[in-house]
Structure 1
Amino acid sequence: MEEKDPDGGPRIASYVAVGDSFTEGLGDEAADGSLIGWADRLAGHLAERCPQTAFSYANLAVRGTVIDEIVEGQVPRARAFRPDLVTFCAGGNDLLRPGGDPDRIADRYERAVAELVPGAGTVVLFTGFDTRGIPLLRRLRGKIATYTAHVRAIADRYGCPVVDLWSMEEVRDRRAWTDDRLHLSSYGHTHVALRAAELLAPRPPGGTTALRPAGPSRMPATRRSDDLQWACEHFVPWVGRRLFGGLPADDARPKRPDLLPF
């Protein structure tokens, strides 16, 4: 019989996070400057649910990585750990690049899911965010919606739970994003962690319901000058780094590469 945790879900004693800056935790910094992020926060929730057993966690995510890099560098390592849980989010950086084809990206994504599922207890997938409230990125909304539809279909084919970021009211709150409008803030990461925790068990661990806001505060309309300043200061340099500059060598390492007690 499958062992259950106190909240009624399957006992999860090992967790591996796979992905890019979203999963690494960019935008959610601790007081010492280290990154936290929704995956670390989810690991904390899961550790609370199995206090009598050793809980282990690895975060293989690296900022700026595209899906081919994630599939070639992170997926085999995650498979080798054979964890109870894998969270897999990839393809966002590919979609933001000129010419990013959601159908091709989804084909690569599905092959990775097919590799992960046999060796993990549960593989959780993530849809894309709805970018209708973000200037410039709203033009990519159709492409992201197409990719999101692929993710949902892949989840159905492989029996994977899905964290539906597209429909999350909390991430339509301006507090959920950093000034670059590309990465979640601590507020945003907290709510993604809570949503994932709720997906894995009928109810979250004690006290986490207090993290949910009373109501959404939608992203307000911005002036054209504000949008232009944001594009010049954040979006264009971000695209340039991804297309031409790559990543600094010191940043191209996962923050938690081994499956160790958390």
Structure 2
Amino acid sequence: MIFRTIRKKNPLIHCITNYVVANFQANGLLAIGASPVMADDSHEVEEMVTIASGLLINIGTLNEHMKESMLLAGKKANALGIPIILDPVAAGATTYRKQTVRQLLKEIKFAAIRCNIGELAAIANVDWQQKGVDSGHGSISLEIEAKQIAQLNNCIVIVTGEKDFITDGEHQQWITGGNPQMTEVTGTGCLLSAICCAAYATGNKPFTQLVDTLSLYKKVAEQAASSTQYIGDFQIAVLNELHRLSKDGVE
């Protein structure tokens, strides 16, 4: 079970991420036995990534200084063979974000992209009305576009929502389950991206490892929702359930 494997291997995950979710991501990674480090200054990211097992790039609170650091760390990680996960938060909300994601995909080789359907549409250059960081609305053939992006970038693409879809361009799978309360707490998707980074870094069957991760995260949502009726407690319940699963496994 992937969470128990992560706890056993204790990977160091270097996160260049957004300040809204950094604390939740760090605690979530700690809950499953990974070691998070949040370093985003251009003076140290290349050195930091050399000791990491995986690199997460999350553009949620994008700025030019962070963008420079993402490119430096990404290229260094590529040179060292360290897997990189991209979380293109709100990629279609502004021209700046869309252009930045295109530059990142052009200059960095990503192991996986974890996005929602609106962000997928932005990467695929499909007409879509993104609502801030929310997925928004429009029309897209999710499976076709996700597979094409996976093939074009030679990576795994994960599109999360009420149902999750994962593809490496050849294989594909839908994952069901979860609970809608996950959308009422900020950072649950961003945390999933960080956990995917840890999962990818802890074995040699990344597609299977990420399918397992998505399935377990759905179970986390279900168990957290069943343990509390209050949204303020839900985030804590998510961390508690991640910790329990990484130690005890699935009941």
Q: With the length of structure 1 as denominator, give the TM-score of the two structures.
A: 0.42
Task: Flag the structure with higher helix content.
Answer: 2
Higher relative contact order (CA 8 A, sep 6+): 1
Task: Flag the structure with higher strand content.
Answer: 2
Q: Rg bigger for which structure?
A: 1
Q: With the length of structure 2 as denominator, give the TM-score of the two structures.
A: 0.44
